[in-house]
Amino acid sequence: MVCGKLFATWAVAVITGATAACTSNRHQTAGNAANASPVAEAVANPSSPSSSGSSGSPSSDAACVNSPSNRACWTEGFDLSTNYYDEVPDTGVVREYWFNVENGTAAPDGYEMPVQLINGSFPGPTIIADWGDTVVVHLTNSLQTNGTGLHFHGIRQNWTDQMDGVPSITQCPIAPNDTYTYKWRAVEYGTGWYHSHFYVQAWDGVFGGITVNGPASANYDVDLGHLFLNDWYHQTADELVTKAATGGPPTAVNGLINGTNTFNDTMGSRFETVFEPGTRYRLRLVNAAADNHFRFMIDNHTMEIIATDFVPIVPYNATQLSIGMGQRYDIIVEAKDLTDGDFWLRSIAQESCSESDAVDDVKGIIRYSNSSTSDPTTSAYSYTDSCLDEASSNLVPYLAINASDTYISADEKVAVEVTDNALLWTMNKTSMHTQWEYPTAMQISQKNSTWLTKQNVIHLPDADKWVYMVIHSPFAQDHPMHLHGHDFWILDSGYGNFDSTQTDRLTLVNAPRRDVAMMPGSGYLVIAFKTNNPGAWLMHCHIAWHTSEGFAVQIVERESEITYDTGVLNQTCANWMNYVVQSDLNQHDSGV
């Protein structure tokens, strides 16, 4: 069907002879990771170009050598202007990681808490690959009393839906003592992250970074890696989600920057890094919070924003940046010509949509001297408290792709209901509830197309059609909307109701693209995507409690073309069912 109106209304180790090491790298020169043979070298120092300090826009040349003075280039035949939706370098490189999920304790702000960790690390180890590499992650569940699964947030999983890592959708949960192997191709480049999609496990510590090296839309010298922004609670996520369902969203007692902060000025420590004068640093910002929207800034410094989620953009300058749950921004900060000085780096919870007791105290320190130990005395930039996205006029994709004015349609509505004294988010009058033991993938593999209402399925059988969705919320709270399996085009957003007759409001020419966008409270968000990736894809609010309370739909796209390794699928589910029978486990949330 074409020319309809889909206005979905939601009212509310390198395997080249060397074995890959699972290491977390936070400070690296950027370049082509495949240039080095041993993984440690490939991760820590992909290439060793001389520092240029150039602040101009990068450009591609015939030699196509990625360097600080030419980040637009990548390798022969591939650069910033390459259409990465259609063309991907054939590196032949496999980067392999072994992850173990385990219980532990941690005190990221000095207050010791029970946590769940990957390889004993908080955040977990960073997955690092080059554009076009294949990534293999072996995930072992050593939790004993919990299932698990790993979603690679932002990775489109082209034709590899089974690797999306969503228990009850693309697999059964991984049972204790079981191991699951994920394998996917890095068809995009930039900044992502991985996290558990089992219950609310991610916010107990099961998350980490994904760096896919590739070209960039501005030049820089040093890649500092991920900078995770988190809210933090002195209770487990399991305790918090119960409170959220019965009494509304819990209040964060603190926030973290790359897994650390102080608490009550008596314990813990701040995140710190040292700048070299004149050096241009790339930072990969990730909002990994359960329920806090942040405004990021570095006092007395200007940022150059070069990417939103996995989409390179035309660079623009700003002194502050609004970043919602699940979103990523790549920024470049040029160090001042100083040999001394200390500056606050700030992650400020936005009170219009966030509950936090540490609004002004989630801070790190930028130093210009290794010997300095003083707290900065700098002041924050003035700002307006808001949970809206950055202005669309700033988020211009470097690779211009227009949305089609011919499209298909569907209709969704979202609301909040109270059932047995618990809050449930509903979409199209349905609160999603999927079954851990009978995932959508198994249903598709068995050719069973009888979808239950509670599965909240949007069925899109046709290939290469443009889908437009209008998501509308009558509630004042803003929501970060995330779609798996796709980047989407943001055609419009605003307050009030969207008038479907006013299609001239839609931005079809090179609209912003990303995989998480903020839906304004008491407003709407209009997105578009193309049905070019068969699979069962989850779409949900990225506030942890809302997903658990059913604020989600699943899009079954081109069902007849979806393929699964049924041996792996069935064995994982059999192992899970054996555990469920032995432990008498009951599912208490939406399943995603």
Tell whether the model's pLDDT for residue 522 goes beyond 80.
yes
Going from N- to C-terminal start, the domains of the chain cover: 33-213, 222-367, 414-578
Torsion from C-alpha of 62, 66, 71, 75, nearest 10 degrees: 60
Identical fold for domains 222-367 and 414-578, yes or no, is: yes
- Token readout for 44 is 């820590």
Query: Residue 221 CB: number of other CB atoms within 10 A?
Result: 25
Mean pLDDT of 244-271: 93
State how far the Cα of 478 lies from the Cα of 385, in Å rounded to an integer: 13
Max avg pLDDT among 12-21, 460-469, 471-480, 494-503:
460-469
Tell whether the model's pLDDT for residue 515 goes beyond 90.
yes
Query: Residue 94 CB: number of other CB atoms within 10 A?
Result: 16
At the topology level, CATH places domain 222-367 in Immunoglobulin-like (2.60.40)
Beta strand 535-541 pairing with 479-483: antiparallel
Higher pLDDT, 315 or 405: 315
Higher pLDDT, 528 or 417: 528
pLDDT of residue 63: 64
DSSP code of residue 386: -
> From start to end of 29-123, where are the E strands?
73-75, 78-79, 94-106, 113-118
- Choose among 325, 328, 298: nearest CA to 313: 328
Buried b / exposed e over 472-500, threshold 16 CB at 10 Å, is bbbeebbbbbbbbbbbbbbbbbeeeebee
Tens-digit pLDDT profile for residues 334-343: 999 988 999 9
Mean pLDDT of 323-330: 98
Tell whether the model's pLDDT for residue 25 goes beyond 80.
no
Tell whether the model's pLDDT for residue 454 goes beyond 80.
yes
pLDDT of residue 587: 79
> Over the chain, what is the mean pLDDT?
87
CATH of domain 414-578: 2.60.40.420
Tens-digit pLDDT profile for residues 151-183: 999 999 999 999 999 999 999 999 999 999 999
Q: What is the 3-state secondary structure of 342-358?
A: EEEEEEEECCCCCCECC
Mean pLDDT of 393-412: 84
Tell whether the model's pLDDT for residue 22 goes beyond 60.
no
Torsion from C-alpha of 324, 241, 167, 451, nearest 10 degrees: -90
Q: Are 160 and 561 in contact (CB under 8 A)?
A: no
Q: Are 321 and 229 in contact (CB under 8 A)?
A: no
State how far the Cα of 139 lies from the Cα of 286, in Å rounded to an integer: 22
pLDDT of residue 469: 87
State how far the Cα of 265 lies from the Cα of 396, in Å rounded to an integer: 41
Integer angstrom CA distances of residue 426 from 484, 523, 525: 19, 17, 17
Question: What is the sign of the dihedral through the CA atoms of 84, 158, 464 and 391?
Answer: negative
Tell whether the model's pLDDT for residue 481 goes beyond 50.
yes
User: Domain 33-213, what architecture?
Assistant: Sandwich (2.60)
- pLDDT confidence of 419, banded at 50, 70, 90? very low
pLDDT of residue 3: 35
